[in-house]
Structure 1
């Protein structure tokens, strides 16, 4: 086994041709796959690896290496092997083994999803992608704060559990999505959008993938709710006993449509109603 594979090595330029640059280290000759302005005899550092044709290669633009993590996009999926990710190596995609993917095939990453990975080398010198664990993310992540409550949040799923899913945002906040706060289980590597609903003692955010109550309202309910929000004291002088013509003149809808819309708002606990009118409950 070539113990240099998967390592950052320093080799000496041994040959320069019109098509390629070669460098040697401990009797091994590597083709330099990145553009370098070097002369024969000068040193060059890079990641040693075997390309897709099993040729010894050296990449000076080092995207990911052992113990160095970064995002990698899924470019291919093979049921019998795992998923291939692009870590920026010329002529080489890296496999994340099916052994480290969910048992349920539908939860595997799809092409275009992203995984946060590092490299590992097996006994045969082959490179594999290894996904970061929650411990790795916690070392890098910021602690959340209560001021983020109800903020929109977007991140990639990096861990699946029976009780919920963990995501990491682009600005490196960790969030946990309980099973009851999603309509369906997201797949590993999927980019999801939700909102912050709480904060754990360890600084991890609680998040929900379900829409806010007002985001699932129909047009009439949304229109009435917007009117209420803009009204003095967040209240309108209309209720289920109001004159139908007064409702139609003000809202442009029938009394029946008004009652159905207000009923939806009340079901979402967004408004309450009495004989004086209808008022918002969550805006005081």
Structure 2
């Protein structure tokens, strides 16, 4: 099915002086101009193109890839404010409109804003900063431990409000964050919990049983390499823990607790000490 504002695979129908016409099925013939067509393009060949409306509101195809497509979220800069709204640079010759009615706050030229892209009732590709209007409209079907892509939206008292897979809201708690995050940052996260109210809790580091075992083994290896001592405690900062092992402080404390329970380490105010009998024979 052909869709406006997304990638479509269409067949080259014929060549003309100014480009190629693609078979748009019920949409008719769609022009792919010469300046965005591959040099070796042939009649009958299938090609992946992005469909949008040009400055004269005519349907047109391009091989260029915009920074955002319909159904997606991205941080884009405002390049102009006009009487119809704000225009964003999305990587195509014709800028992307954010109507005044879709602006959470008045947009300013030169600033970046997180926007959602969609096709409005008049069949225009437009964007909106009113993300709540467009996100979390379908039930979340994520499972515990699922790996997901996220975009950072806002910092809150709990941590960060993020967008999951371009369609749902989630929360990344501050004790799971080990580096500064900015609005628009794209990251990989893991589902911790899907709540009854639909809210989704996330963490940046997966904590499967296999990875937990790898972490305890890594801690033991580091202790043996450092003469049986490691200057990290449960009071060490999340940044220090992440710098040493690339995990959250919570995951580190769980691994240390398991090692202590198995009597493989001793906990002191100065750090971890390896129990002598776990040290390999010389």
Q: TM-score, normalization: structure 2?
A: 0.45
TM-score, length of structure 1 as denominator length: 0.44
**Highest Rg: 1 or 2?**
1
